[in-house]
């Protein structure tokens, strides 16, 4: 799943693809590099970010969806709002990627059920402005709590009429979780996968802050003082590829990534060693 953020404030590439023509060209480039799905988002979920107005989100997302509909890969829209989801589906989207799992706007579940598109339900505890608060990062048992809360979102989707086979689950790496908690959840990947064995599972780790923390002070090329602080997002792609291999080796259905070619290549190598070519 290749990411196209049509936002000015996303943590990794905010502002780079804000203009529709730039977003479409970038998406087509990701497809050429091997993306199976293009995920278009018009509202940043970077920690601490205020919400985008609905009209602004629609204005950002729809031109890109319309231009890419029929491009040969699935179009996903990253939104928490029912009206945006409906408009995006009307414009050609076939997946709704809801980071709130229906908690931000429960009406989104009815839209998904009515239209019959695929639905990504992510583990989520609150909006960006507060999601990294100590309260929202507190778990009695991280792995079992995430599984239980994500299972509740799956059940809510089914009650709303979403067919179980249409549901994709995402454990929500980086959302209401500390760096150590992200690593703990990834180390427990088999347990998480087994809890949703009949569902597709999407992992979104691309360029996230816990990778920057791991790589802090490393990797500076050339002369000069040693690097300090977290590795910047654009320097986290190799680490992302390593986690893509980890997820692939543990039966992940998909990975959501800003950089496609390296991650696709990693999947191809792993598949060839274990299962045969992906295609």
The rounded distance, in Å, linking the Cα atoms of 78 and 71 is 18
- CA 174 to each of CA 5, 45, 98, 181, 183: distance values in angstroms, whole numbers, following the listed order: 17, 10, 15, 9, 10
The rounded distance, in Å, linking the Cα atoms of 222 and 206 is 26
Neighbours of 196 (CB within 10 A): 18
Q: Which residue has the tokens 């009307």?
A: 90
Bridge partner residues of 112 (DSSP): none
Any catalytic annotation for residue 256? yes
Neighbours of 56 (CB within 10 A): 13
CB distance 67 to 20 below 8 Å: yes
Choosing from 86, 153, 177, 256, the catalytic residue is 256
Any catalytic annotation for residue 177? no
- CA 136 to each of CA 145, 163, 172: distance values in angstroms, whole numbers, following the listed order: 12, 30, 13
Neighbours of 238 (CB within 10 A): 13
* CA 134 and chain centroid, separation: 23
CB distance 157 to 196 below 8 Å: no
- CA 151 to each of CA 96, 111, 144, 196, 227: distance values in angstroms, whole numbers, following the listed order: 18, 20, 10, 8, 42
Choosing from 60, 86, 125, 208, the catalytic residue is 208
Q: Report DSSP letters for 58-86, one per residue.
A: HHHHHHHHHHHTTSSSEEEEE-S-HHHHH
Instruction: Report angle CA 248, 254, 260 to the nearest 5 degrees.
Output: 90
Active site residues: 208, 256
């Amino acid at each position: 799943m290749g990411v196209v953020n049509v936002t000015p404030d996303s943590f990794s590439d905010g502002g780079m693809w804000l203009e529709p023509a730039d977003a479409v060209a970038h998406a087509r480039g990701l497809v050429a590099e091997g993306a199976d799905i293009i995920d278009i988002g018009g509202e940043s979920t970077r920690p601490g970010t205020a919400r985008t107005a609905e009209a602004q989100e629609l204005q950002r997302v729809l031109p890109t969806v319309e231009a890419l509909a029929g491009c040969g890969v699935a179009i996903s829209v990253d939104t928490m709002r029912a009206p945006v989801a409906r408009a995006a589906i009307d414009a050609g989207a076939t997946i709704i990627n809801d980071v709130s799992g229906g908690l931000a706007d429960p009406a989104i579940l009815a839209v998904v059920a009515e239209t019959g598109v695929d639905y990504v339900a992510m583990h989520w505890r609150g909006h960006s402005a507060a999601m990294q608060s100590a309260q929202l990062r507190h778990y009695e048992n991280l792995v079992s709590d995430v599984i239980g809360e994500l299972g509740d979102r799956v059940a809510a989707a089914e009650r709303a009429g979403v067919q179980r086979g249409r549901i994709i689950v995402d454990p929500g790496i980086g959302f209401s979780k500390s760096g150590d908690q992200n690593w703990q959840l990834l180390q427990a990947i088999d347990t998480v996968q087994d809890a949703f064995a009949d569902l597709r599972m999407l992992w979104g780790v691309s360029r996230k802050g816990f990778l920057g923390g791991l790589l802090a002070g490393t990797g500076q090329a050339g002369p000069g003082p040693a690097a300090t602080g977290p590795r910047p997002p654009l320097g986290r792609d190799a680490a992302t590829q390593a986690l893509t291999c980890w997820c692939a080796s543990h039966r992940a259905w998909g990975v959501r990534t800003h950089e496609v070619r390296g991650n696709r290549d990693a999947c191809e190598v792993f598949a060839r060693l274990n299962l045969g070519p992906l295609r």
